Amino acid sequence: MPATPLAEPGPVSHLARIVQPADANSQGDMHGGVALHFMDEAAGMAAMRYTHGNVVTAHVDALDFHLPVHIGMFLEAHARVVAVGRTSMVVEVVLEQEDRFTGERTMTTSGRFVMVAVDEHGKPRPVS
């Protein structure tokens, strides 16, 4: 059963960090895989808050890299559940960078993650 869009999306979960040299390539830009990992973590947090239980990532959809993120930038993920199926949720995640010297904020990356609620045995369970 496809997920049904929520009339009122779930609460926004925020996750923040600073981009370190180990996160970046030789040009000083954060690796896409690091961004994906950070976004997946934020999506999981939003889904766990929504279901009050464990979740797993089932699918990553429509991941778009809009701007590079440079070493030293503050990075914040904003994630929220926007649609719900029987056992799954669609979570939209947006990454914003903030220049620590100017305070300027820009969206860098966006994506949609499908998360599945699971029980203590790792089996899908109804979203509650």
pTM of the model: 0.94
Distances (CA, A) of 63 to 21, 109, 116, 127: 23, 7, 18, 24
Distances (CA, A) of 47 to 11, 23, 38, 76, 93: 10, 25, 14, 17, 11
> What pLDDT score was predicted for residue 128?
75
Angle at 65 between CA 60 and CA 68, to 5 degrees: 140
CATH architecture assignment, domain 4-118: Roll (3.10)
pLDDT tens-digit profile of 96-121? 999 999 999 999 999 999 999 999 99
pLDDT tens-digit profile of 32-51? 999 999 999 999 999 999 99
Lookup: tokens for 20? 């370190």
